[in-house]
Amino acid sequence: MSRLRVLAAVVACAAGQNITGPLALAKDSLEVGGCPTWLGPICKVWTCATGCLPQIKDCIADKVCKAALIHASECSAKYEAAGKSANAALACFVPVNDLRDKVFFCLLDEHHCIHPAKDNTSYPTCKDDSFKGDASYQPAHLLGDWWKNFGWTKGEMYECRPCGRVTFSPFRVLPWPTATPENTTDYAIIASNWYELDDQNRTWNVNETSYFGPRPGHKGFPEKQNHRGVQYGLSYLENFTMVHDGTQETEPFLFLYGCGSTIQGRYITGFVMSKNKYPSATLKKRIFDVAKQNGFEDEDEWCTVDNSCPPLNDEQFII
């Protein structure tokens, strides 16, 4: 459900493409004598980037984060030179590293030191105003464990990633950099897990935790909701319509449509999740009947999420 885009140019500028200096000494030298040369292109925005010194220091003091920062920089620079897309360069950021992503968030969203190019992906026009939504939906219906079964291929293809598991739990305050809504009434926590390939075509389990709940002022509540969080250092806001609440049916499911945005641009998304890892023929027919009733005419516009979830045997791949 989150926005999975980070431009290669962001990392090339934020991390430096040729970090080969004595990183062990960098933690103590950041505040002395201006920008250390090993940071490379980040020195071009150093006056701004000094606002992110705590995050930079935390990252380079951690062996795994340092390696992730260097790898993301070198990998994304290679992808950029080859003319590959921002979505393809996402592989450079797999697996997730929380400390590394906090550096990117600080430079991008908090201090605006770096201004990434806009995403040029073509999406259909947002129809948030066109979908009335299901007034029978209630926040309590969301809680529990779900499997993504279908993703709308005209929207963000993230919804089609394999092994899409989603858990909704009662509200709690999440740590920085995820911004807490002013009014948290009727909010829940959403924890998403899915399988993602890195730049070596190795499969990792990726996870992201964020907020899901009413729009400001409970506008359009309960059928109108929003989803907000931070993924790979890029914050996003998605306005969702609960198109159909089938949680009280024999085979429970939820049908969602959303319009989202990041500082790179706007996008749309749609997906269906159920309690079943594999939807039955009866449930599939029911879902696509609901889709047609709401203007989604072509079944070919939907991917079937691969939830076979083969085990990830290598110990470095976390399940």
pLDDT of 313 reads: 55
Q: Are residues 73 and 11 in contact, defined by beta-carbon separation less than 8 angstroms?
A: yes
Which residue's entry shows tokens 């260097």?
70
Which residue's entry shows tokens 């499911």?
253
pLDDT of 38 reads: 56
In eight-state DSSP terms, residue 32 is S
Q: What is the pTM of this model?
A: 0.86
pLDDT of 25 reads: 38
Contacts of 52 by beta carbon, 8 Å cutoff, 6+ apart: 103, 106, 107, 110, 111, 113
In eight-state DSSP terms, residue 35 is S
What is the token pair recorded at 172?
């709690």
Using CA atoms, how far residue 136 sits from 232, 250, 253, 295, in Å, is 34, 16, 13, 20
Alpha-helical regions (H) of 16-62? 23-29, 46-49, 53-60
The CB density around residue 186, as the number of other CB atoms within 10 Å, is: 16
The CA dihedral of 283, 284, 290, 291, to the nearest 10 degrees, is: 160
pLDDT of 252 reads: 98
pLDDT of 116 reads: 67
Contacts of 42 by beta carbon, 8 Å cutoff, 6+ apart: 13, 14, 15, 16, 35, 49
Residues 121 and 265: their CA atoms lie apart, in Å, by: 9
Which residue's entry shows tokens 């730049």?
199
Pairing mode, strands 253-262 and 302-304: unpaired
**For every one of its 319 residues, what pLDDT tens digit does the chain have, with 9 covering 90 and above?**
444 444 334 444 444 433 333 333 344 455 545 666 655 556 677 788 888 889 988 998 999 998 898 888 788 778 878 888 777 888 999 999 999 999 989 988 899 887 766 677 889 999 999 999 999 999 999 999 999 999 999 999 989 999 999 999 999 999 999 999 999 999 999 999 999 999 999 999 999 999 999 999 999 999 999 999 999 888 999 999 999 999 999 999 999 999 999 988 899 999 999 999 999 999 999 999 999 999 998 888 999 999 999 887 554 444 3
The strand pairing partners of 210, in sequence order, are: 190
Residue 169's Cβ-count burial label (10 Å; 0-12, 13-18, 19+) is: middle
The strand pairing partners of 270, in sequence order, are: 257
The CB density around residue 71, as the number of other CB atoms within 10 Å, is: 18
Instruction: Cis check for the bond before 222: say yes or no (omega within 30 of 0).
Output: yes
pLDDT of 307 reads: 97
What is the token pair recorded at 56?
């930079």
- What is 139-304's CATH superfamily? Calycin beta-barrel core domain (2.40.128.20)
Task: Map out the domains of the chain as residue ranges.
Answer: 8-110, 139-304
